[in-house]
Amino acid sequence: MGFFERLFGARHTNLPDIPFGRYTDAYKTEAQMAAWNRSLALFDEDKHLEAYKAFFTYLRDDHADNVHWKQVDDTIQFEFWQGSQRVTGTATPQKVTAESKVARTTDLNVGFLRRLMEYNYSLKFCRFALDPDNNLAIRFDTLGTDASPLKLLHALRELAIHADKQDDLLIDEFRSLKPVEARQEAAIPEAEKEIKYNYLRQQIDATFALLDKAVPDPNQYPGGYAYLMLSTAFRLDYLLRPEGFLMDTLEKIYGIYFAKNERTNQLKIIALRKEFQKILDRPKEQLFAELYRTRSTFGINPPANHERIVSLIEGELPNMEWHLNQNYLELAMAVPQYIVGNALFQNVPPKPDRELLHLFYQITEPDFFRALGFPTYTTPDGLPNKRPVIQAIRAVVQHNRAVYPRLRPDLNRLDFSSRVLFAKSFLEMIRNLDLSTDN
């Protein structure tokens, strides 16, 4: 039974197949972990080909169908996907090589050549190169004696993530660059794109409206508006799952605010607004082109334990109190929204936390989920609906109880009297969870 079926119940069996959030490889199965241990042991025994096959078994996600390989004589030929990019390579007892073609050029423009030369200095295992057919590629190779599973894991991850990130950015910026081959992506329905595009504009417009309303004055009280803009960026990244320019801009918004420089919070808010405006100014057809399905092998975000989520909640949630007491409800709501978005944007929380954080979005963004075809958790007047919310939380508990036997959320803590008080109480409930795995 899938995640949404668990939340919504068996009666909802025709739910949309729409993924949310960035791909993660943090939730490995027992079979995958056994393959990893087997790979390490086989490599130590100098059984390199067997070690590599076990290694690719560890990487493969059957649900994503992301990794394929075959053995021809004493050579393993492999390929895997990361976003819109395909990585191909060979592995023998003597040598392992891998590459991904990023773009084809018809003009050796000094701009992108210099950028990639400089980019190479930040890479630890790979390098960008130009092949005889004028294809820009990112490559990795190593001798078999040095091709341990651990090194391959780090090297292929670096290659895949940088290939997937740079192809869209380079092709968008330099007109002389074209895709090398048909991209490994799946189109999503135009109706879904339209819903996501409208939600994107509506959320940014609503953020700008609160900034323009200036109650309270952003120059005197910039903190609430920082939460507002960052929570908007995090929410759009998770719910829309964009690629290319849109994904890069949302990441840039995070980077601008948390950069250690001389900018005041007021100046940072102005800078964030400019980035959001770039999204609004981008033609609709270009934003549509950045909404598509992909297969991936490596997640970008590192795993986080429950204590990291607890620390985030305890450190940030009290900052909603002043806005709540002053009846600035939109700015108060931005604080729990920021916490949820930050937790999902920067890290991969434990499964119960991640499922509950996703549930938070389903409860607090009912119009978006309803438009996509999902059942929702609100009453006709927009308040969280107590009975289905509690049922959904219990479904998360039941699904995870085998691994987390002490997972017993205190449902009495939930406050259903308003959207903002529910958000606060929901995060307090998560903060007090016991995710220890011992009985």
| Higher-pLDDT residue of 171, 392 | 392
| 172 shares its domain with 241 | no
Q: Quick one: tokens of 68?
A: 């394929």
| 281 shares its domain with 302 | no
Q: What is the pLDDT of residue 83?
A: 86
> Which tens digits make up the pLDDT trace of 344-356?
999 999 999 999 9
Q: What is the pLDDT of residue 111?
A: 74
183 occurs within a structural domain: no
Q: What is the pLDDT of residue 15?
A: 86
3-state secondary structure of 384: strand
| 105 shares its domain with 61 | yes
The continuous run of DSSP H or E covering 31 comes out as helix 30-44
Question: How far is CA 149 from each of CA 62, 119, 154, rounded to the nearest angstrom?
Answer: 20, 25, 9
Mean pLDDT for all residues in the chain: 91
- Any idea what DSSP says for residue 125? S
Q: Does residue 33 carry a pLDDT above 90? A: yes
| 54 shares its domain with 110 | yes
- Any idea what DSSP says for residue 282? S
376 occurs within a structural domain: yes
The DSSP line for 154-210 is HHHHHHHHHHHHHHHHHHHH-TTEE-SS--SEE---HHHHHHHHHHHHHHHHHHHHH
| 283 shares its domain with 306 | no
**What's the number of domains the chain is made of?**
3
> Which tens digits make up the pLDDT trace of 396-439?
999 999 999 999 999 998 999 999 999 999 999 999 999 998 76
Question: Which CATH number is 59's domain given?
Answer: 3.30.1460.10
d(CA 32, CA 18): 25
Q: Is 137 exposed, middle or buried, given 0-12, 13-18 or 19+ CB atoms closer than 10 A? A: buried
| 254 shares its domain with 140 | no
Q: Does residue 173 carry a pLDDT above 80? A: no
| 54 shares its domain with 164 | yes
Report phi then psi at 182, rounded to 5.
-60, 130
Q: Does residue 214 carry a pLDDT above 80? A: yes
Q: Does residue 1 carry a pLDDT above 60? A: no
| 223 shares its domain with 269 | yes
Q: How many CB atoms lie within 10 A of CB 242?
A: 20
d(CA 102, CA 128): 9
184 occurs within a structural domain: no
Q: What is the pLDDT of residue 165?
A: 81
| 76 shares its domain with 148 | yes
Q: Quick one: tokens of 239?
A: 């719910």
Report phi then psi at 386, rounded to 5.
-55, -50
Residues linked to residue 293 through DSSP beta bridges, in sequence order = 186
424 occurs within a structural domain: yes
Q: Quick one: tokens of 6?
A: 């668990």
Closest C-alpha to 352, from 316, 416, 415, 405: 405
For residue 404, what are the domain limits? 1-18+297-439
> Which tens digits make up the pLDDT trace of 153-166?
999 999 999 888 87
> Which tens digits make up the pLDDT trace of 38-64?
999 999 999 999 999 999 999 999 988
d(CA 193, CA 200): 10
Following CA atoms 416, 393, 300, 37 in sequence, which dihedral angle do they give, to the nearest 10 degrees?
160
Q: Does residue 195 carry a pLDDT above 60? A: yes
The residue type at 267: L
24 occurs within a structural domain: no
d(CA 133, CA 211): 51
Of 55-59, 172-176, 241-245, 287-291, where does the model show the most confidence?
55-59
The continuous run of DSSP H or E covering 212 comes out as helix 190-213
Percent with pLDDT over 90 in the chain: 75
3-state helix, strand and coil shares in percent for the chain, rounded to the nearest 5? 55, 15, 30
Domain end, chosen from 291, 320, 338, is at: 291
Q: Does residue 10 carry a pLDDT above 50? A: no
Q: Does residue 2 carry a pLDDT above 80? A: no
| 270 shares its domain with 337 | no
112 occurs within a structural domain: yes
| 274 shares its domain with 301 | no
The DSSP line for 49-68 is HHHHHHHHHHH--TTTT-EE
Confidence of residue 105 (pLDDT cuts 50, 70, 90): confident
Q: Does residue 374 carry a pLDDT above 90? A: yes
Residues linked to residue 399 through DSSP beta bridges, in sequence order = none
| 221 shares its domain with 256 | yes
Domain end, chosen from 178, 213, 230, is at: 178
Q: Does residue 13 carry a pLDDT above 90? A: no
d(CA 298, CA 280): 30
Q: Does residue 112 carry a pLDDT above 90? A: no
CB 353 within 8 A of CB 309: yes
> Which tens digits make up the pLDDT trace of 323-373?
999 999 999 999 999 999 999 999 999 999 999 999 999 999 999 999 999
Domain end, chosen from 247, 272, 291, is at: 291
266 occurs within a structural domain: yes
Q: Does residue 315 carry a pLDDT above 70? A: yes
Confidence of residue 12 (pLDDT cuts 50, 70, 90): low
d(CA 4, CA 18): 10
